[in-house]
Structure 1
Amino acid sequence: MEKVKDLKKFSLNDNVLDLIDLKFLPRWVILFIDILIILVSLFISHLLIMGLEVKHYRAFPLRYVFLFILSTNVLYMYIFKTYLGVIRHSTFVDLFKLFFANLCCVLTIVIVNYTYYFSSNEKAILIPFLGFYFALSSVFLFVFRLCVKGFFNVIKENKRSASRKKIYILGDDDTSVAIAQVILSNPNLPFDIKGFISYNDRRVSIKLLDKNIATKANFINSLNTGKKEVDGVLVIKEALQKEELDFWVNLLLEHNIKIYKAPSLQKLRGKETISQIKTIQIEDLLNRKQIKLDNVEVKRRHFQKTVLVTGGAGSIGREIVRQVALLEPMQIIILDQSETPLYDTELEMKETYPHINFKFILADISNITRLEPLFNKYSFSMVYHAAAYKHVPLVEDNPHEAVLVNVLGTKNLALLSHKYKVNRFVMVSTDKAVNPTNVMGASKRVAELFVQSLQNLEGNTTKFITTRFGNVLGSNGSVIPHFRRQIEKGGPVTITHPDIVRYFMTIAEACELVLNAGTMGSGGEIYVFDMGDPVKILELAKRMIKLSGFEPDIDIKIIYTGLRPGEKLYEELLSDNARTLPTSHEKIMISKDPSMLFEEIDELTELVIEFSRKEEKQEIVRVLKSIVKEFKSNNSIYESLDK
């Protein structure tokens, strides 16, 4: 039995019992209570015998008989140490000890009783009385412990409920019920399910898991009237269309209610259940429905093949490696010039895919003498070229570095792929290459033109393919991680312009496009992806602030810093004079941009590379503009070259 100290609060209205500093009593007190239970059991057993009009034997006074039974039972309680366990933590083992102590007590008394009978031809104790006593004492001792254990469980549950977040689960289907069952069965989860929200407005009188079901209209009405006491709502993202998800997110954010995202049932039943239920993130709201492509053909192209991934330690490159590793290649060569990210990639890949043969190469793609031995040694079947400098302001200040990596590096890899007859060369490009307003975009467009020019070169057997897409969620240096860090620091959130918009897609989706592009077409194509609707960066920032539990411009300030050098308000996936052709998938198109002959682009790239080695910035940009006619600098020191 436990002692309760400092009863601080007891509220029947709120059904809250807050007990602080719970401690257990000394063991002798527990033994004393057990003795009282034994005495009660003896008394009730006596009454039952009397009720049956059966008389006790008179060999000994009844009080001595009861004292003998009591002493024998206490002796076995001492032997089995039944009083040493903490009652609120009682287990089957503790109950088993009690049972054996009582059983041994009764058997001992029966043996003594019959021993006395054989020596004196007279019995001292009624056997039915012992039967009643054994049953009653065992039940009373069990019930006592179970009641104390249950009492403290109720106290702990009430205390836990007071600190738990009160949530509703959006949905009343089988998946919602299954997720609720997992949550309810896990006492470590900090959630208290108050009910379910039905997807429709049809009122129902039934309950699910003894929880109420609120109609959509009633739940919304309760929010508007301020009657609903709820901390959050758990949504099952896969069960909602994007429009429905946006509706609920906007509604709940408006009422300052947390939005939690339910993982799949498989993850929820795993070891890390607590970490699987998280507040919904902006990536979940921007993420479009995943596009499924021809995975059979993708696997055929990679199965038991040797694959090179440049920039393999970057966001895109690393995801390409992950996806290729699932296709059972013979070998994956991962090349990058960043030492620490490459080492991190090595640790991840060897742990996650121990059966895959990886090689990790620290090298600079602008150094052809470092690259050629690799092509000669490994006989690549596929080359995925994701290495590039991509940060617009930095590249604007260092155009020579952009040319050496984005142009010369691409040129080296493409020429070596042509020379060593690589089956397919897939280049990762960017929407900033379309009508570029900065050096980074222009350098990528030059790389596109060079790669395309090799396709029709005499004797070429390699299929040169380019993929072009917008911003990817969560990539290194992208806007969303940047905003998240600013919000965590308390602001301000910095935006270059209130009207700036961008396309977004997930890293996994972008890399799936890259892999599938490697299996499509006859070479020379630029594949563009249906990126959905562009996202206004200001609205994205406001949503991220609200999802973090703050109010924009009140808790977290938003300030405008002005467009950065080379930055434009919106990005494009297709140039103005480009034609698009459909493919076998409605979400993937081929952009028929103007191309150049190999001799022409080869000569011009050599010229811009020569200026880059001399770090002659103005001449570098001048040549880039002569190659990419649509390159018009914006908010940049190179605007004078456009006049």
Structure 2
Amino acid sequence: MIGNSAYISYTGNQVFSGTGLLLYTFLSFGFLMAFRILVKESYRFLSNTASQNSKKRILVFGVSDTSIGLAQSLINDAHSPYRPIAFLSTNEKGHNYKIMNLPILNCCGAIENELEAIKKRYNIQGLLLVGDTLSVPEKNRIVEKTFAAGLEVYNTFMPEKWDKLSDVHLKIAPLQIEDLLERDPIEIDTQLICNDLRGKTILVTGGAGSIGSELAKQVAVFKPKKLIILDNAESALHSIDLYLKKTFPKLKYQCYLADVTQQGRMEGVFAKFRFDVVYHAAAYKHVPMIENHPREGIRINTMGTRILAKLACDYGCQRFVMVSTDKAVNPSNVMGATKRAAEMYVQALQSKPGVTTKFITTRFGNVLGSNGSVIPFFKEQIKNGGPVTVTHKDIIRYFMTIPEACQLVLQAGTMGKGGEIFVFDMGKPVRILDMAERMIKLSGLKPYEDIPIEITGLREGEKLYEELLNDGEQMLSTFHPKIMVSGVVEYEYEYVSQALDHLDILINKVGKKREIIKKLKALVPEFLSQNSVYQDLDLLEKPVEVTILNGNPLPNQKHPKPVAVKTQT
């Protein structure tokens, strides 16, 4: 090989110029890179075009920094199924302006007409609401008009509440019925609860149920000395065990598979742990089921409460917080009456000499999303194509979320002096038929057209509306705006205890259903059956109410059988 500075030669013949080879290298590399970029960008363009066409075209409500930032994140997120097309504003100032090349559309006038026009002009499919920028009444108004225009509604909470800002589309979901219930947010004194529970040994009965499991989760946050979760539902108890193990690895807790009506088992648990606080949430709650099985309702709801309450006294428990229900107020069904009998017992026990345990009762209505509640039931019916079944067109109920209810239970537990019944402000009652119609609309369907609604008639023991106070009770305010205390009617311990002894014999040995219910009605005089086979028992002679003054009946008030007793001093 022979070479010089300008040429490369082989056997005396020139083959390549060194400069030409270098130039060829750079040109080849440049063309290759340009080709690769062209192919990649072409693919991205075609892919984005196809993706954009398949995305849901949505309006973003509001022109705040939050809604603008959210829209920008959705535009930049290639995996997002949503494509912001415009901002929807109720403020005329932004009319005819653009942000990120997205127009600001005004809807100050007849919003349903304007939404209809916007839908046609921009081919919009849905509306995205961001966080709590609207009050619940305003949100309801916007949502109703959006449904009327044939649009879907989506919701996302404020970005500052997100765990991370990536995958913004995963934080967006169809609006839920819970978001449309008119109730004010609940605030609790977490420091007071923390001071009250930290370092304590705490028992939660019914700890695998909807309320009990949430109570256990919330109590765990306050770092108790030991937390015992007790329930007789094996699978559900296993689930809460796995949750606590993963979420609170340093928490000292135990899950006990046990029945609250087994006195020997319960005594062993109390003797072992010497609880400071008991949250008693174990109960049977389904009205029609307990109407047909009164023995089991009384056994769990009433006798189970009596066993636990007596053990709490015997083992020096500081506080016993019973979770009750608004169905215990002037009960119209066996379930409500069993809970009212339990309330009466713990109140009577509080007045017994020598009792130092503070017995506190909390009452609230239906909780959203609990096992067997109406909302999961409706969702399943809608998923299956209907019909959605409502028992009466005028039936109304109070609703609260499970976390909210448990927060108030914890708060009330710190407030009680002993013997009180705390009643929670549940907000405005909700007409169940309206809820069914809205849930169908939230699913993107039309009630009575896509999904039929059937009125089936009131179930056994069911009321049209629930009450907050029994006859003779008065509502008193507390320092917490969402918690009231009921001025209750007091009952003599011996009378209630003897009545429960008789009931216990009936449910375990010789009693027939009607005899059992008759005895329960004698104990709970305000129990009047509705839509029930036991209604005719109310036509019989009602027990006489006797007032006890300083331990003795007032003159001229003789009574042949156990009766309801009021205590005066």
Q: Same fold (TM over 0.5)?
A: yes
2:355, 2:426 → 1: CA distance?
33
- The residue identity in structure 2 corresponding to 1:409 is G
2:220, 2:538 → 1: CA distance?
46
List aligned pairs for 1:203-352, cutoff 5 A: 203-217=94-108, 221-225=113-117, 226-265=120-159, 266-267=161-162, 269=164, 273-286=168-181, 288-352=183-247
Q: Tell me the equivalent position of 1:399.
A: 294
Q: Tell me the equivalent position of 1:166.
A: 57
2:480, 2:314 → 1: CA distance?
32
Higher helix proportion: 1
Q: Tell me the equivalent position of 1:633.
A: 529
2:107, 2:306 → 1: CA distance?
59
Q: Please point out which of 78, 83, 104 is paired with 1:192.
A: 83
Q: Tell me the equivalent position of 2:324.
A: 429
What per-residue deviation string (whole Å, max 9, x for no partner) do you get for residues 7-61 of structure 1? Answer: xxxxxxxxxxxxxxxxxxxxxxxxxxxxxxxxxxxxxxxxxxxxxxxxxxxxxxx
- The residue identity in structure 1 corresponding to 2:522 is S
2:39 is the counterpart of 1:148: yes
Taking every aligned residue pair, what percent have the same amino acid on both sides?
Answer: 45
Q: Please point out which of 486, 500, 524 is paired with 1:591.
A: 486
1:550, 1:349 → 2: CA distance?
39
Higher deviation after alignment, 588-597 or 431-440: 588-597
Q: Tell me the equivalent position of 1:504.
A: 399
Asked if the contact 2:437–2:447 (Cα under 8 Å) also holds between the matched residues in 1, the reply is yes
Give the direction of change, closer, same or farther, for the CA distance of 1:497–1:598 in structure 2 (3 Å limit): same
Asked if the contact 2:112–2:148 (Cα under 8 Å) also holds between the matched residues in 1, the reply is no
Q: Which runs of 5+ in 2 are unaligned?
A: 540-569
1:575, 1:383 → 2: CA distance?
25
Asked if the contact 1:529–1:588 (Cα under 8 Å) also holds between the matched residues in 2, the reply is yes
List aligned pairs for 1:468-547, cutoff 5 A: 468-547=363-442
Aligned-pair CA distance for 1:494: 0.9
1:294, 1:222 → 2: CA distance?
45
Aligned-pair CA distance for 1:220: 5.0
Asked if the contact 1:400–1:616 (Cα under 8 Å) also holds between the matched residues in 2, the reply is no
Q: Please point out which of 385, 388, 405 is paired with 2:280.
A: 385
What per-residue deviation string (whole Å, max 9, x for no partner) do you get for residues 466-520 of structure 1? Answer: 0000000000000111111111111111111111100000000000011111100
SS in 2 for 1:527: strand
Aligned-pair CA distance for 1:585: 1.4
Q: CA RMSD in A?
A: 2.4
1:286, 1:380 → 2: CA distance?
38
SS in 2 for 1:213: strand
Q: TM-score, normalised by structure 1?
A: 0.78
- The residue identity in structure 2 corresponding to 1:340 is S
Q: Please point out which of 501, 504, 507 is paired with 1:612.
A: 507
2:313, 2:427 → 1: CA distance?
35
Aligned-pair CA distance for 1:269: 3.6
1:549, 1:585 → 2: CA distance?
39
1:139, 1:416 → 2: CA distance?
85
2:210, 2:347 → 1: CA distance?
25
Aligned-pair CA distance for 1:228: 3.9
Higher strand proportion: 2
Q: Tell me the equivalent position of 1:360.
A: 255
SS in 2 for 1:522: coil
Give the direction of change, closer, same or farther, for the CA distance of 1:439–1:144 in structure 2 (3 Å limit): same
Asked if the contact 1:472–1:505 (Cα under 8 Å) also holds between the matched residues in 2, the reply is yes
2:383, 2:328 → 1: CA distance?
33
Aligned-pair CA distance for 1:334: 0.6
Q: Tell me the equivalent position of 2:304.
A: 409
Q: Tell me the equivalent position of 1:62.
A: none
Give the direction of change, closer, same or farther, for the CA distance of 1:513–1:366 in structure 2 (3 Å limit): same
1:216, 1:297 → 2: CA distance?
46
- The residue identity in structure 2 corresponding to 1:636 is S
1:387, 1:326 → 2: CA distance?
21
Structure exhibiting the larger radius of gyration computed from Cα positions: 1
1:112, 1:470 → 2: CA distance?
98
2:253, 2:28 → 1: CA distance?
70
1:186, 1:305 → 2: CA distance?
48
What per-residue deviation string (whole Å, max 9, x for no partner) do you get for residues 297-334 of structure 1? Answer: 10111112111000000000000001001111121101
What per-residue deviation string (whole Å, max 9, x for no partner) do you get for residues 533-554 of structure 1? Answer: 1100001001111111211111
Give the direction of change, closer, same or farther, for the CA distance of 1:618–1:116 in structure 2 (3 Å limit): closer
List aligned pairs for 1:47-66, cutoff 5 A: none
